[in-house]
Chains A and B, each alone.
Chain A
Amino acid sequence: MTAQFKQNQQTHGAALLVRIKPRTSALVRFTIDGRPATAHIGDTILTALLLNQAHVRDFEFGGSQRAGFCLMGACQDCWVRLRSGPRVRACTALIEETMAICTEGRAV
């Protein structure tokens, strides 16, 4: 996992968010565009993504990427698709074990 994590960091940029204190809650394993990653119970999907890389999703109207903005369900700039089908708002939905998150392509 450590090697994979390092590779994630190299190819996808270091994390955007910083934990202020180690989390003691249980570990959650999930994937970002197929790559394995970890987070903790109590993390939102946005937190889980931005502790692993520097973006939440591709912006569908241009070549850029977005990483949320308001964190309170107002700006809607953080919708992502789950491989299982549903689309979720990353700043208000919690990460779950085995979640497969797609940050590429149009989310909504």
Chain B
Amino acid sequence: MTLPGPPANVRRTRVVIIGAGPAGVTAAATLARHGVTPIVIDEAAKPGGQIYRQPPDGAARPPREIYGFDAAKATRIHGLFKDLQSAAKIDYRSQTLVWNITRNEQRFRLDLLHNGVQATLDADKIILATGAVDRALPFPGWVLPGVFTLGAAQIALKSQGVAIGRRVALIGAGPLLPLLVNQYLAVGIKPVAALDVAPFIAKLRAFGGLAAQPATLLKGAYYTARAAALGCAITSNVRSIRALGDSRVTGLAYATADGKTHEIACDGIAASFGLRSESQLADLAGCRFEFDNASRQWQPLRDRVGRSSVSGVYIAGDGAAIGGADVAELAGEQAALALLDDGGTPTSVERRHTLDRALRRQSRFRRALESAYPFPAHLVANIPDGLIICRCEGITAGQLRDSIARRHPTDVNRLKAFSRLGMGRCQGRMCGHVGAELLAAHAGCGIVEAGRLRAQPPIKPIPLTSALATEVSS
């Protein structure tokens, strides 16, 4: 079916925001305030994104129970979005996946999937606010039932009111770990282990920079202290981890900095090591990327206000660089103001300066946070050959090393062609960065030379049957 649009000369600029987390919501509100009605697309059923994720109907609980300290912020973001919706200031498309973006002369074409039906949508300008996913790293036993990411352990609580076990071990390298320990304590589950793979000394050294956001620093310190007070102190500088069990997790073995190994019984493990930006759509839109050493990941290039290297594409929030929810809110507004400015709509210079100052303060904090939780290189340095790296197809480290030794791939995309790493359903989200680490280590090249897996449409699986029904609106 083709929905006829108005003739091009009278057509208004169509702005599409992808993502309804804090970045997408504030971007939408900013555009709406300036008389622009954006289309807001999100794969999830309800707005809020990761941190302010809303449970499905039937699983609702009071905001204070779900979001803790962040309840007021969550309620504000949800309320803001609801107001925009009821005033028809936005066109919200929930449960809609954007699985491809192509450039079409001066416009962009988005491929969508909603309820198993495909559609395309043309856009003049796009704000990408696609957020992040947990950075997974493989360890022995990580594919066993009962091993999840930290984010998953939180989503289980927030969105489903379920815990990942009764005896739960939590492992991380970032601020999500102390938060999650507290969230599990709050529902009456005392984690049997809370392990941080970053050294404690790194946190002490980063203290000065962390003080740039005293409230956030305090919250983190509070979570850590409270966990310890309740008998669940976080062990720093953990050197290696291994999930034990045959058909499901029954225990965890880990080594501490003093060279001792420990074994505990548990029925659930949550482990992930920071976050990675969901930047596949930026890649497909043609945006340039650069490698960020501090967070050890590729990021789409953008200027101070969120313009990508492609005219008409703006990027905000965790999808651009990991910054957390408060940064996402500020950056969403800033990108929307830049978009308006570029289109000739007057915006407040004063407000733009305020945002700029706030974001600069935040970025000092972020840099400090990154040095407090450096990339746990020791976890990928000694990956045994038998370990599965690709969860989708069961490709092992040994198979990858073999491909590297025999065929000398020059970058991770060649390694993909030779080994299938990153060709599975997750499109390399869980393994692409690990493949690059293995390649760099084995070939003796730098991680930058190992490159990044290029995004391929569809960025998430689309059922074959959905190709049958196609709707077009332009």
Contacts and interface: CB of A to CB of B under 8 A. Distances in A.
Interface string A13-49: 1001111110101100000000000001111100100
Nearest to B55: A42
B172 to A, nearest CB: 14
B148 A77 contact: no
Residues of A contacting B: mostly: loop
Contact of B248 (A13, A68, A71): A13
Nearest to A67: B145
Query: For B50, B166, B424, which residue has the most chain A Cβ atoms within 10 angstroms?
Result: B424
Interface in A44-79: 44, 47, 50-51, 54-56, 59, 61-62, 64-77, 79
A30 B166 CA distance: 25
A13 B146 CA distance: 12
Contacts of B189: 18, 20
Contact of B162 (A19, A26, A92): A19
A67 B146 contact: yes
A68 B354 CA distance: 43
Interface in B121-140: 133-134, 136
Contact of B247 (A41, A65, A68, A75): A65
A99 interface: no
Contacts of A66: 143, 145, 391
Query: For A21, A67, A72, which residue has the most chain B Cβ atoms within 10 angstroms?
Result: A72
Taking residues whose C-beta sits less than 8 angstroms from the other chain, chain B's interface range is 35 or more
Interface residues of A, number: 45
A73 B268 contact: no
A82 B426 CA distance: 21
A75 B391 contact: yes
Contact of A69 (B55, B188, B430): B430
B155 A72 contact: yes
Contact of B148 (A54, A59, A69): A69
Contacts of B57: 41-42
B116 A86 contact: yes
A106 to B, nearest CB: 12
Given A61-B393, A65-B145, A66-B145, A43 B165 contact: no
Given A54-B146, A74-B429, A17 B151 contact: no
A13 B247 contact: yes
A64 B147 CA distance: 14
Nearest to B65: A21
Nearest to A88: B463
- What 8 A-B pairs have minimum CB-CB distances, sorted nearest first? A42-B58, A42-B59, A67-B145, A41-B58, A76-B425, A25-B58, A71-B152, A61-B394
Given A74-B134, A74-B430, 19 more contacts: A16-B165, A19-B162, A20-B163, A40-B59, A41-B57, A41-B58, A50-B162, A54-B247, A55-B145, A55-B248, A64-B143, A66-B391, A67-B146, A68-B148, A69-B391, A69-B430, A70-B134, A72-B133, A108-B425
7 contacts: A13-B248, A16-B268, A41-B57, A44-B56, A54-B145, A73-B43, A79-B425
